[in-house]
């Protein structure tokens, strides 16, 4: 079984992308969701309340959060 999994991994190793910049890794692991901005200029992704600019009231915006923070709450 181990040999089969190793062979499968090696057959696709050319598809791996080496990321040298740590900030790029952080960007890859953001969870993105769309939320509508409430009348009081707040959004609540992952059950947490965040304040945004009142200019976005009533609009749908994309929110990006670190997956570790997202899963913690």
pLDDT digits (tens, 9 = 90+) for 45-73: 878 889 999 999 999 999 888 766 555 54
7-11, 30-34, 50-54, 69-73: which is most confident: 50-54
Contact 67, 35 (CB under 8 A): no
pLDDT at 17 over 90: no
- Residue 1 falls inside a structural domain: no
Higher pLDDT, 3 or 36: 36
- Residue 11 falls inside a structural domain: no
Contact 53, 41 (CB under 8 A): yes
- Tally the domains of the chain: 1
pTM higher than 0.75 for the full model? no
Parent domain of 51: 17-72
For the chain, give the mean pLDDT.
84
């Amino acid at each position: 079984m181990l040999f089969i999994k190793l062979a499968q991994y090696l057959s696709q190793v050319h598809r791996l992308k080496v990321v040298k910049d740590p900030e790029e890794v952080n960007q890859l692991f953001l969870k993105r969701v769309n939320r509508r901005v409430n009348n009081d200029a707040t959004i609540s992704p992952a059950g947490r309340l965040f304040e945004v600019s009142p200019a976005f009231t009533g609009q749908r915006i994309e929110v990006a959060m670190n997956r570790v923070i997202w899963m913690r709450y």
